[in-house]
Amino acid sequence: MGKIMKVRFLICLLVSLALLLPAIAGQNSAQELPSAPSAARQRSSSQPAPPSGEPAPQSKPAAIDAPARNDATPSTSAQSSDPQNAAPKAPDQASVPQAEAPPADDSITTIRKTVNEVHVVFTVTDKHGRYIKDLKKDDFKIVDDSKPPEEIRSFRSETDLPLQVGLLIDASNSVRDRFKFEQEAAIEFLNQTIHPKYDEAFVVGFDVTPEVTQDFTGNTEKLSIGIRSLRPGGGTAMFDALYFACRDKLMKQPQAGPTRRAIILLSDGDDNQSHVSREEAIEMAQRAEVVVYTISTNLTGASSQGDKILARIAEATGGRAYVPFQITEVANAFGAIQEELRSQYAIGYKPADFRADGHYRTIEILAVNQKGLHIRNRHGYYAPSR
């Protein structure tokens, strides 16, 4: 009888371990990416927000958890919209993605490793602001952390590189009076930019929470319907929307090969509802290797605080900020972005003395064979940490 009892005990133990292992694996997988912000409209007055560092309540499946914060860098709505109060960070993130890819299908084995290769996208213009598109690798000099790279591994023009574009449209009350025109300008941009079966885009409208009105598609008619379905109203959680679009859409979208990721953010830049700060949203864009172009909807004729916030986002991600002074100039800004997306260079290189130590490394790209050229690129990145 003693032997029979021991056998039964061992069988029960093995069954318990078999049931626990999937749950443990799922918990570890869920912790690979930093959490997204809690959706503002999921917070109720009867259920106070959890203290910093504790998980948000999961009673509503639509809620998105707030990221874990360092106690030294608290982030409130007021601090998020004020660049002077936001915790400063270096302007750029490593080109090598530091966040893990989304969980793969059970039938696919995912192998992850640190890749010591940096990819940089840049534009070149002459003194009149015209794009120069016919330069070669030998026309440029790369300086990474004050040293030339060990090896240039790739160089190409991105004129025909497939695009993955996210269109983020501010649908808060603050843009109600010019919303219709902005919708039509955005539709025209997608019609001119997205090539069916080659490029793809998605549409997100946001007030206090982001709403995907059209998921990834190359069908411009579906994208147009997604834009026209937006209705203005509510507060503004711009940083949350940018964070969501980068982490939950672009970072998780499969890529068949080299692909250009970009977000066009149409807003007045005034954020009063976000749960993540401006710098956290920028960092997520950098992790996803997304360039953000911003179009201000302020028509006051003078640079506002919101315009400065939009400029910071664009500069930190290698994009450009546009500030139209008339409503008709919004369409011109979309046209300029379209031209830039088809007028870029991409270079990949192995840095000299590269170490996975979390060190911030600067990037400088110089024109060596022609004078008077202006090169615009992100200014640096963080090496991954072991």
Sheet holding 291-296, edge to edge: 210-217, 200-206, 163-170, 260-267, 291-296, 321-322
pLDDT over threshold 60, residue 4: yes
Q: With cut-offs at 50, 70 and 90, classify the pLDDT of residue 216.
A: very high
What's 248's DSSP letter?
I
Q: Which domains does the chain have, with CATH numbers?
A: 118-158+344-382 (no CATH), 163-341 (3.40.50.410)
SS3 249: helix
Q: What is the pLDDT of residues 347-382, one digit of tens each?
A: 999 999 888 887 888 899 999 988 889 998 877 777
Nearest CA-CA partner of 294 in 372, 242, 243, 246: 242
Q: What is the pLDDT of residues 289-322, one digit of tens each?
A: 889 999 998 876 667 899 999 999 998 888 999 9
What residue spans of the chain are helical by DSSP H?
2-30, 77-81, 179-193, 220-228, 238-244, 278-287, 305-317, 329-341
Rounded to whole angstroms, the Cα distance separating 181 from 327 reads 8
Of 56-70, 141-155, 327-341, least confident by mean pLDDT is 56-70
Residue 203, both tokens: 């549409």
Q: Do the Cβ atoms of 93 and 287 come closer than 8 Å?
A: yes
pLDDT at 255: 79
Percent of the chain with pLDDT strictly greater than 90: 36
pLDDT at 306: 92
pLDDT over threshold 50, residue 263: yes
Rounded to whole angstroms, the Cα distance separating 345 from 336 reads 17
Q: Do the Cβ atoms of 259 and 163 come closer than 8 Å?
A: yes
pLDDT at 356: 86
Of 14-23, 108-117, 236-245, least confident by mean pLDDT is 108-117
Q: What is the pLDDT of residues 101-153, one digit of tens each?
A: 444 444 343 334 445 788 888 889 998 889 998 899 999 999 999 999 999 99
What are φ and ψ of residue 178, in 5° steps? -125, 15
Q: With cut-offs at 50, 70 and 90, classify the pLDDT of residue 10.
A: low
Secondary structure, 3-state, 83-132: CCCCCCCCCCCCCCCCCCCCCCCCCCCCCCCCCCCEEEEEEEECCCCCEC
pLDDT over threshold 60, residue 200: yes
Percent of the chain with pLDDT strictly greater than 70: 68
pLDDT over threshold 60, residue 67: no
Q: State the average pLDDT over residues 154-182.
A: 85
pLDDT at 34: 42
Beta bridge partners of 120: 347
Give the C-alpha distances (Å, rounded to integers) separating 312 from 89, 186, 322, 359: 12, 22, 12, 22
Q: State the average pLDDT over residues 251-279.
A: 89
Residue 183, both tokens: 């919708």
Higher pLDDT pick, 196 / 56: 196
pLDDT over threshold 80, residue 73: no
